[in-house]
Structure 1
Amino acid sequence: MSNLRTPAGRRNVALVAGGVAALLALTGCTSDPAADEPASAEWELSTETPAPSGDIDSYSWVSYAEPYSLDYAYAFDYADNQVLANVCESLLRLNPDYSLSPGLAESFEQTSPTTWVYTLRDGVTFHDGTPLTAADAVASMSRHLDPAVGSSWFSVYQNVASIEQTGDLEVTVTTTIPDSQFNQGMGGSAGVIESAATLAEKGADYGNSTGLVNCTGPFELTEWKSGESVTLTRYDDYWDDELAAKSGEVKFVFMGDSTARVNALKSGDVDGGWMLPVDGIAQLQQTSGDVYFGLSTAVSSLIVSNLDGPLGDVRVRQALLMALDREGILDAAAKGFGEVTNALTTESVWGAASDATREEAFGGLADYPYDVEAAKQLVEEAGATGQKIVIKTAPIGNDFAVISQATVAAAQSIGLEAEIETVTPSAYTALFSDPSAREGVDLFYTVWYLSSPDPLEMYGVLRTGEFSNYGEWSNPEFDAIADEAVGIVDPDERAQKSAELQHIANEELPWLPLFTGPTTLFLGERITGVAPSINYLYYPWAATIGAR
């Protein structure tokens, strides 16, 4: 797939583009996926793996693709971030339970509704031995505001008025409006701090296989063989003793073929990997290694991209969701590894909410049970019988085939006409960035994950005029609640507003939620120690792995 750079709204595009690419890894194509027998998967979530017995000289890790870039401004995909998270660090740290804690900033404070002050740790060095300073932080963060850079994370900074050094180790960020989401984004790529001198020296080569990077993490990026592998070497002067790397070296091997990845893991040619091809999980469970299922923030959904057609009537959207056998789709597309959902967020991003607020968010949601006759009646009431919808898909993975075929069958069963348009993976990615690519398209599939521990990240996308509000859905009440929520500092109070937004989205269905699935992990017989969580995209997980 291609990664497209445009400065406006890139964060939300990034989340989807990353999700699309992930499907190359998560699924294995079959000749007739619709004919597969439903799987009865047995799995349970884990929060940890056994502690290592000690250090290990080296281990290898398989990735479904080579990183597009290791420049943090463009690192928005699984292949990029699973490497970069071990080399470069952010102001805040996104933990395995999806909570935020101090990272390179030892403390942070909101000193006014529009001011965030970050105090950096003293004694931190970059991999070339130079000390971390506030000037490095200012230079690193300011790149996201530079149109010439075209950062994938611009939307985190969209309300930023200034980024200033206010002390040797102090940075002050001023926003144009109260913006709770800015600080939430500092645990991901948007909060990464790089050496200002390296940024200036490397220029256009920064973050590629020639220029590499110079950061503060527990591993140093020492070699990038294009098309083959990336090698990380332990940085012995790393500042955080608790996360000092337990391995002297980690080698990431690129394997685009899902069968080859499974075989390499089974044989021990590589020691571990994230995002297991679902067709290979049962095979891997029979090896001397271990398969784990961990926290995820991703929801598989159908995006309604045309509200001028029959799906502009909410009754037709409701009918289509009711006509989709989502349990059957889960079995066929994901081999049963997951669960059907009626929300566009997972509970994992509601960690700062009280139990009562979380119950309010997920309790009482319409569940849209599988009921073709009732759905057909809704279509008739809407006067949409016989009208046509177009579903766009691509030959990316088994779930793409299953979901597109199931959607056509569901639409036809309730009196709609339906057609599948198949495009290349790169053309499919364009759906998320180019409005012209969505012309004449009513629905397309996504796996949308959140990169901060706040459900407002999801619902902010659906405000009127937002770049990633692909169907141009508009609800004034929703907009007003979302705008108010952005300015609320108290996490539970803000989550209460997000709960209201979740209910409106559940009723209006601008996107049709299908199912959620866990983060998958394989550890071979030589290694252990990493927490199975999607936070591996932003946390130095590879440092925790040692010998069994």
Structure 2
Amino acid sequence: MTVTIRSRRTALAAATALALTVTAAACSGKAGGSGGSRDGRAGSTTGAGKTSYHLTADTGTPKGDVDSFTWSLFAEPPSIDYTQAFDYPPNQVLANVCESLLRWNPDLTTSPGLATAWQNPDSKTWVFTIRDGVRFHDGTTLTADDVVASLSRNMDPDAASVWANQYRNVDKIEKTGPLQVTVHLKSPDSTFLEYMAASPGTVESAATLTADGKDYGGPAKGVNCTGPFSFGSWQPGQSIVLKRFDGYWDPSLKAHSKQVKFVFIVDPTARVNAFQTGEVDGGWMIPPGSFSQLASNVSFGKSTMVADEVVANLSGPLGDPRVRQALLMATDRKGIIDAGDGGVGEIADSLVSADNWSNAPEAEKKAGTTGLPSYPYDKAKAKALAQQAGVHGQEVVIATSPLDTQTTIITQAIAQACTDIGLTPKIDTIAADKYTALFTDPAARKGVDLFLTFWYTSITDPLDMYASLETGAFSNYGGYSNKDFDAAFEQAVGSYDPAARAQATGKAQQIALTELPWLPLYDEPVSVYQGPKITGVKPSIDYLYYPWAAEIGAR
């Protein structure tokens, strides 16, 4: 499944997920449309260790409460400060402790959260009605002042929020009533409301933010929010413990467990062993190589993740769109899915999943998910296309980090594709911390032509991903620039009409998929393991912002 200001899905999320193994969740309607029923568990194992899978909307209602359960994280969060929550480990903890104005649900719709209602009286104003009677974990009552302080922090340069880009169109945020907050925009922004269901909409106690200062979100202080669990303790290098909050406002999500203990297990083999021995009761993002051996306890769900090769150098041999098209056409993506993901996934025709189009009118949804530029596997055609561009023999540097077989398989497949179209691949194997720097430091990308990311969106909207390709965007890692793309993107962001917005988004998508500044490889569903003692989770990428742990109880 990341530090300064960045434009949508800082890929530290992706980088860490890549570096520390594990794929999942930053897109995939393709997987969502893979067939089969939407209930039940992972399914059966087929030949060659491949898993026959289907998506699961619900794993069942718990038979009762439990005293506690243990959950694995593939890395220790650097912080659980919501302004820094841009990666799988911190977000899946924070989702159970803190809440946003809106709630992102397992079916990827949004509903009221800490805001009971909102109005858009004009194109540059959002008015939120704050839920009455909500208490923070320290017993104090939620007010409009807390909301103003929490949202405004994303605009404070000293906070260096990773979500600052989502506030780029905000002029000011003010309290306009005891339980009312008004956001004034500089220009219309159709995505702002959607982000209020993710980390950018998180609400914390204003008093806590002031009192904790720079210690906020760290092991010593934790956080003080309104979710179904409160922060208990954090033992650096080992675990984070959350405790059930009995004063939680929403009875439908009262936690079934008195406690959740998150343990940090970096090594994928150790994680799988911990599942099998019962040392750990569950975890998201199951190492793909273990799908078959854990099949009876693994479920798959909706995802907005797409595995991509990012073109980091558009002035080298990959600067010609024909070469990028040829490279994608020469990549055996089905082979990657079978060998690296146990057959769990679908070849991606887009940089976003079909689920990202769920909110669009039916006609525009169809246009956004069908008839896209297609690059079927054809080595001969790909080689001929590359020859037209005259890049034969030129070197392409592929950065990678050798910490899981999945990544190794993808890297080798991309290198083979380079060879097949006449390029000379050079694999640059670097340490995990240096790989992470590819997403945050332009200097780290110098001399690199390609690198892998697992990119997911945090809202049900293609614009969340395509923001990364706008000229000058922080996460526009290759410096891609196309004035027609930018115009279509800005038109989409500024439009509140669903049909017009989707049409403009579709135009931007067509440009991106023709020019391929990023190469889409495959979609992969969310994977989750629940041991024999627990059940109740609803498998979905929304686990990054939804209080999923509250639904887990006794099997």
Q: Match for 2:239: what amino acid?
A: S
Report the counterpart of residue 17 of structure 1 in structure 2: 12
Report the counterpart of residue 199 of structure 1 in structure 2: 209
- SS state at 2:304 partner: coil
CA distance, structure 1, for counterparts of residue 169 and residue 403 of structure 2? 36
CA distance, structure 2, for counterparts of residue 486 and residue 38 of structure 1? 45
Q: Match for 2:311: what amino acid?
A: V
Q: Is 1:130 aligned to 2:137, yes or no?
A: no
Q: TM-score, normalised by structure 2?
A: 0.93
| Cα offset, 1:38, TM superposition | 5.5
Report the counterpart of residue 175 of structure 1 in structure 2: 185
Deviations 1:116-174 (A, max 9, x none): 11110000000011000000011111111111110111111111110101111111111
Q: Is 1:412 aligned to 2:419, yes or no?
A: yes
CA distance, structure 2, for counterparts of residue 538 and residue 249 of structure 1? 19
Moved over 3 A (4+): none
Q: Match for 2:15: what amino acid?
A: V
Matched-pair contact (CA < 8 Å) for 1:455–1:495? no
| Cα offset, 1:97, TM superposition | 1.2
Report the counterpart of residue 464 of structure 2 in structure 1: 457
**What CA RMSD, in Å, does the superposition of the two structures yield over aligned residues?**
1.5
CA distance, structure 1, for counterparts of residue 219 and residue 384 of structure 2? 58
Q: Which residue, out of 64, 70, 78, partners 2:80?
A: 70
CA distance, structure 1, for counterparts of residue 109 and residue 455 of structure 2? 19
- SS state at 1:447 partner: strand
Q: Which residue, out of 214, 222, 244, partners 2:254?
A: 244
Deviations 1:433-484 (A, max 9, x none): 1111111211111111000111111112211221211112222211111111
Q: Match for 1:20: what amino acid?
A: A
Report the counterpart of residue 281 of structure 2 in structure 1: 271
Report the counterpart of residue 439 of structure 1 in structure 2: 446
Q: Match for 1:96: what amino acid?
A: P
Matched-pair contact (CA < 8 Å) for 1:184–1:452? yes
| Cα offset, 1:493, TM superposition | 3.0
Aligned 1:58-457 pairs, distance under 5 A: 58-285=68-295, 290-457=297-464
Report the counterpart of residue 26 of structure 1 in structure 2: 22
- SS state at 1:174 partner: strand
Matched-pair contact (CA < 8 Å) for 1:87–1:218? yes
CA distance, structure 2, for counterparts of residue 438 and residue 145 of structure 1? 28
CA distance, structure 2, for counterparts of residue 92 and residue 204 of structure 1? 27
Matched-pair contact (CA < 8 Å) for 2:311–2:451? yes
- SS state at 2:203 partner: coil
| Cα offset, 1:412, TM superposition | 1.2
Deviations 1:72-110 (A, max 9, x none): 111111110111100000011000011111100011111
- SS state at 1:448 partner: strand
Identical columns (%): 52
Matched-pair contact (CA < 8 Å) for 1:10–1:151? no
Q: Match for 1:62: what amino acid?
A: S
| Cα offset, 1:39, TM superposition | 4.1
Unaligned runs of 5+ in 1: 28-36
CA distance, structure 1, for counterparts of residue 240 and residue 477 of structure 2? 35
- SS state at 1:73 partner: helix
Q: Match for 2:417: what amino acid?
A: A
| Cα offset, 1:180, TM superposition | 1.1
Q: Match for 1:510: what amino acid?
A: P
Q: TM-score, normalised by structure 1?
A: 0.94
CA distance, structure 1, for counterparts of residue 267 and residue 440 of structure 2? 27
Matched-pair contact (CA < 8 Å) for 2:8–2:475? no
CA distance, structure 2, for counterparts of residue 25 and residue 386 of structure 1? 32
| Cα offset, 1:261, TM superposition | 1.1
Deviations 1:360-406 (A, max 9, x none): 11211222111111111111111111222111111232222112211
